[in-house]
Amino acid sequence: LVGWGNNRVEAEAKKITARLDVAAVVERNAKAEADRCVTTRPAANGMVYVTFLMPLSQGVGLYAALKRHADLTGDGRSRGQIMTDTAYERITGHAATAPVDVTLNLVMADTTLFGGDDCPGYVQGYGPVPAHVV
């Protein structure tokens, strides 16, 4: 164990567990699959993280399909931009460049609404939003 970091120790322990108790590993994986979900959390500069928690094979397949598509598309955008735009387009059925119709819960001051000040608004599930955005 000398020279091994925590991640390697954990990985080796999982290998041993998988060899010694296959049924337990299968059961844990089945329970984990029942918890699959999609979540969002705010990011800086008007961005948001969208996270998919899914079975390993589906996640790897999703990433590989997006990467493969991005690698075949040469239009000046970065690989990450193409992958993100492609995921959005395939999930929503709308072009990534098209305007987005959304319903959101926005709280803002009436003075901001009528241009009297620049107090930020608040979007439920996201957080503060600059006045020029609201």
Q: Give helix then strand counts, H and E, for the chain.
A: 5, 5
- Closest Cα partner for 88 from 60, 47, 58? 47
Would you say residue 97 has pLDDT above 90? yes
Edge-to-edge strand order for the sheet containing 127-129?
A: 106-107, 121-123, 127-129
Q: Where are the domains of the chain?
A: 1-34
**Mean pLDDT computed over 80-108:** 93
Rounded-to-integer distance, Cα 9 and Cα 16, Å: 11
Tell me the pLDDT band of 74, cut-offs 50, 70 and 90.
confident
Residue percentage of the chain with pLDDT more than 70: 100
Q: What is the pTM of this model?
A: 0.68
**Mean pLDDT computed over 46-54:** 95
CA distances from 44 to 39, 47, 80 (A): 17, 6, 17
- Predicted confidence at residue 15, as pLDDT, reads 92
- Predicted confidence at residue 103, as pLDDT, reads 83
- Predicted confidence at residue 91, as pLDDT, reads 97
Would you say residue 101 has pLDDT above 90? no
Dump pLDDT digits (tens) for 14-30: 899 889 999 988 898 89
Q: With beta carbons less than 8 A apart as the criterion, state whether 120 and 132 touch.
A: no
- Predicted confidence at residue 5, as pLDDT, reads 94
- Predicted confidence at residue 10, as pLDDT, reads 93
Q: With beta carbons less than 8 A apart as the criterion, state whether 72 and 66 touch.
A: no
